[in-house]
C-alpha cells in the first residue's frame, strides 16, 4: 500500500512495460514535460521535475494495482480495466490504443446476429466482458478463452464465432469473418485509485490537467493569416471552431492579421477556401499546451 507518512507525497503511476500501449504512453508523458530516464529493463523510473515515480508493469495488471492502491494512477486500455473488473476512478481518455471488442462469425456460417449463437461455442480473449454480454441478452453460449490468434479458432473448428479486439477490421476480413456486434469500444485511459489522501488527490488533479492540456493541444492548431478587413466574416465562415479570433490592424491600411485556435483535423481542407476568401501569409503552428 502507499506510504502516507509525513514526507511530501510522490505519486506512483503504472504504465504498460511493453506492447502497443507502452510507447504512446511514454510519448504522452514526455510531451507533458515530465523528465525521466528510459531503460527497457527497469521496473521503476523517478521523474526528475515532478513528484512522480513511473512503474512499468503488465498492461493487464494495471487496473488491479490501481484499484488496490499499489499505485495512485494507471494508464492502460479500457478493455483491460473492464476485463479485470477493476474499481477505479476514470480520469481521462487518452485518445490512443483505440480498438473494439468485436463479435464475429465465419462469412460462410448461417449466423448473422448474436442471438444466433445460442448453444454455440465462442472463443474470446475477453471472457468476462463476453460472458456479461451474453448474460445480459439471456443467451447461453459456451466460452473458450484463447489469448492469441483468436481469429483462427473457427478455421480450426474449435469455435463457431469469436469475440476479439479489432482496430481496422482487416484481420477479420483476412480470416473470412464477418462482424456481428461490437461488445466494447476501447482506448487508453488514465485511471486513479478511489480513496486517495487529499494531498495525493491534489497532485493527481494537477497531473491530469497537465496531461489533458497536451491532449487538447494536439487536436488544435494556431492559425495566423493576413487578410483585407472586409474578408474577416467570410474567413470566419470557412474555419469552424474559430470562435472570437484576434483581429489585429496591420500597418497596411485595410489589412488585418487574424489569429485563432482551430481544429487540427480539417485544417488542410480549409486552406484553399481561406485563400479564396482573401487570406495570405497563412501560418499553421502546433500548440504545446491548451488549458481552456
- What are the residues binding ligand AMP (CB under 6 A)? 19-21, 59, 77, 79-80, 97, 99, 165, 167, 186
Task: Return the residue nearest ligand AMP (CB atom).
Answer: 19
Smallest distance, ligand AMP to C-beta of residue 19, A: 2
Could you tell me if 56 and 16 are in contact, meaning their C-beta atoms sit under 8 angstroms apart? yes
Smallest distance, ligand AMP to C-beta of residue 61, A: 12
Smallest distance, ligand AMP to C-beta of residue 233, A: 43
- Residue with smaller CB distance to ligand AMP, 21 or 34: 21
- Residue with smaller CB distance to ligand AMP, 141 or 166: 166
Smallest distance, ligand AMP to C-beta of residue 21, A: 5
Could you tell me if 275 and 282 are in contact, meaning their C-beta atoms sit under 8 angstroms apart? yes
**Neighbour tally for 27: CB within 10 Å:** 12
User: Is residue 5 classed as helix, strand or coil in its secondary structure?
Assistant: coil
Smallest distance, ligand AMP to C-beta of residue 26, A: 14
- Residue with smaller CB distance to ligand AMP, 181 or 263: 181
Could you tell me if 88 and 191 are in contact, meaning their C-beta atoms sit under 8 angstroms apart? yes
Smallest distance, ligand AMP to C-beta of residue 173, A: 13
H or E element in which residue 185 lies: strand 177-186
Q: How many CA atoms lie within 13 A of 5 on its CB side?
A: 2
- Residue with smaller CB distance to ligand AMP, 165 or 203: 165
- Residue with smaller CB distance to ligand AMP, 150 or 262: 150
Grid coordinates in use for 142?
459456451
- Residue with smaller CB distance to ligand AMP, 179 or 228: 179
Could you tell me if 94 and 74 are in contact, meaning their C-beta atoms sit under 8 angstroms apart? no
Give residue 281's region: left, alpha or beta (phi > 0; psi -120 to 50): left
Closest CA to 88 of 193, 16, 187: 193
- What are the start-end ranges of the E strands in 89-176? 89-93, 99-106, 121-124, 142-145, 161-166
Amino acid at each position: 500500500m502507499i506510504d502516507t507518512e509525513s514526507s511530501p507525497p510522490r505519486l506512483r503511476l503504472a504504465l504498460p512495460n511493453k506492447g502497443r500501449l507502452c510507447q504512446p504512453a511514454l510519448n504522452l508523458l514526455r510531451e507533458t514535460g515530465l523528465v525521466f530516464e528510459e531503460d527497457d529493463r527497469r521496473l521503476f523510473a523517478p521523474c526528475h521535475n515532478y513528484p512522480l515515480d513511473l512503474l512499468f508493469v503488465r498492461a493487464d495488471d494495471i487496473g488491479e494495482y490501481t484499484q488496490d492502491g499499489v499505485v495512485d494512477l494507471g494508464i492502460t486500455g479500457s478493455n483491460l480495466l473492464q476485463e479485470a473488473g477493476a474499481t477505479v476512478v476514470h480520469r481521462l481518455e487518452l485518445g490512443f490504443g483505440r480498438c473494439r471488442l468485436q463479435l464475429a462469425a465465419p462469412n460462410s456460417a448461417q449466423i448473422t446476429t448474436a442471438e444466433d449463437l445460442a448453444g454455440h461455442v465462442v472463443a474470446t480473449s475477453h471472457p468476462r466482458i463476453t460472458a456479461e454480454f451474453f448474460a445480459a441478452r439471456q443467451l447461453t453460449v459456451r466460452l473458450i478463452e484463447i489469448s492469441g490468434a483468436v481469429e483462427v479458432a473457427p478455421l480450426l473448428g474449435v469455435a463457431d464465432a469469436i469475440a476479439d479486439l479489432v482496430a481496422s477490421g482487416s484481420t477479420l476480413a483476412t480470416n473470412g469473418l464477418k462482424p456481428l456486434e461490437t461488445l466494447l469500444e476501447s482506448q487508453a485511459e488514465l485511471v486513479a485509485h478511489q480513496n486517495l489522501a487529499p494531498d495525493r488527490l491534489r497532485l493527481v488533479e494537477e497531473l491530469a490537467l497537465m496531461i489533458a492540456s497536451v491532449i487538447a493541444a494536439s487536436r488544435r492548431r494556431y492559425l495566423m493569416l493576413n487578410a483585407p478587413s472586409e474578408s474577416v466574416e467570410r474567413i470566419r465562415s470557412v474555419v469552424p471552431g474559430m470562435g472570437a479570433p484576434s483581429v489585429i490592424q496591420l500597418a497596411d491600411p485595410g489589412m488585418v492579421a487574424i489569429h485563432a485556435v482551430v481544429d487540427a483535423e480539417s485544417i488542410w481542407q480549409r486552406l484553399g477556401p481561406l485563400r479564396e476568401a482573401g487570406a495570405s501569409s497563412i501560418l499553421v503552428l502546433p500548440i504545446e499546451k491548451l488549458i481552456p
